[in-house]
Chains A and B, each alone.
Chain A
Amino acid sequence: MMENACPENEHPCRTRKVQATWTWRDHLGAWKMRWGFGRNRYRVQPGLYAMGLPSPEDPVLVTANYKLTFDVLRRSLAGQNLWILVLNTHGINVWCAAGKKTFGTDELVKRIRKHHLGQVVTHKTIIFPQLGAPGISAHEVQKQTEFRVTYGPVRASDIQAFLANEMKANEQMRTVTFTLRERLAVVPVELVQALRYFLPIAIPVVLLSLLGGINLSIATALAMLPFLGAILTGTILFPILLPVIPLRSFAAGGWLLGILYAGGLALFIHAGGWLAATLLLILPPLVSFIALNFTGATTFTSLSGVEFELKRAVPMMVASAVLGVIAYTGQLILGG
């Protein structure tokens, strides 16, 4: 990206040029984002960008200043001449920023004015990502700026087809999906997040048990493994199996998966009654909790539904875990 030097016309001058191709830096950055490293600093400068050699008749696309969002958009626009208006969402993606209204009416109106869009282009249409619609009110934008908002497709990969089709999106372009590939794409971040809670507890406990000798330490580390298994079940298996789990509730589906996991584990290690009970009481609520947290990464769960689930599931999780601790104590006292 570099400043565009065009002396004769002031306004497009302030636009930056941008290309469709990714450098190795862009690839590295995208990989880091997928694994959840340095998420808060991955931004591009807000403003008006020129893709190719746009004329005043060419379309204007709006996007957020989360660099990965911007990069995916520009990569999907190879060969196009158009304008990209990047709003300042403080490095947050379109969907989440729309929910917070930072990708919203006020910021859009402000940017249209600040970058003199009315003088840069001769038409009165801006293409706004459909997933940003929860942030803006199209008629309000039109009232304040005269620009008419047309909602573009859900996925950047459909934009070329959308532009070629006189800016009309078909049903498929308008519909959010949550395919296996899309679910797998969010797994790394979920996994890293869960381990961020687990490792700071597990590692000190194992190290501390070294005081009791190396054998105790090994035993403690082994005792942690079922928890690690529960985390992997919740963060990897649950998202993969999501469409075939026969329960719509995430908490219930996660619990079911947790029972299968804990039951399988108990059989595998030939656990006695007390130990089996402990595993079946402690591990499923953990998987259930992680599954319930996966609602944040999905594209179809509602606030009312999540609240409904939390209200019912959390007390059951706590009760089950408490019973599990009782069963564990019983095992220590009575053996078995």
Chain B
Amino acid sequence: MAHEYLHNVVTLKLDQDKCIGCGRCVEVCPHRVFRLNDRKADIVQHQKCMECGACALNCPVEVISVRSGVGCAYAVLKGKSQGTGPDCGCCG
């Protein structure tokens, strides 16, 4: 069973024109959001992005942008209450 979270809130963007087709984003994405077509990356499952940021950090030409962070309510609440931004305390 494939889980899916909220649609239309995800911040992932790709500037396809500047993509050099290295395939790193396809390799790192744990939700198979990208596919390589004609030596260009394509976002094929935008709604599945969990904003982990792996693709953006590993794109050698920096054509992917995403507001990355942990999708963890506890972290968001903790960050808000301490004014530090989302910080995960759940996992240590």
Contacts and interface: CB of A to CB of B under 8 A. Distances in A.
Contacts of A133: 28, 52, 54, 57-58
B50 to A, nearest CB: 5
A249 interface: yes
A229 interface: no
B91 A96 contact: yes
A39 B90 CA distance: 11
Interface string A36-65: 000110000000000000000000000000
B57 A134 contact: yes
A23 interface: no
B9 A304 contact: yes
B53 interface: yes
Interface in B24-79: 24, 27-32, 48-54, 57-58, 60, 67-77
B30 A131 contact: yes
A122 interface: no
A301 B76 CA distance: 13
A135 B91 CA distance: 15
A243 B70 CA distance: 21
Interface string A285-300: 0000000110111111
Contacts of A295: 71-73
Contacts, number: 139
A176 B33 CA distance: 12
A310 B69 CA distance: 15
A40 B92 contact: yes
Interface in A5-41: 39-40
Given A176-B31, A293-B73, A92 B10 contact: no
Given A248-B7, A303-B76, A305-B10, A91 B71 contact: no
B76 to A, nearest CB: 5
Interface stretch (A110-118, A136-144, A158-166, A321-329): A136-144
Interface of B: 1, 3-7, 9-11, 24, 27-32, 48-54, 57-58, 60, 67-77, 86, 88, 90-92
Shortest beta-carbon contacts, A-B, top 4: A296-B72, A301-B71, A96-B91, A133-B54
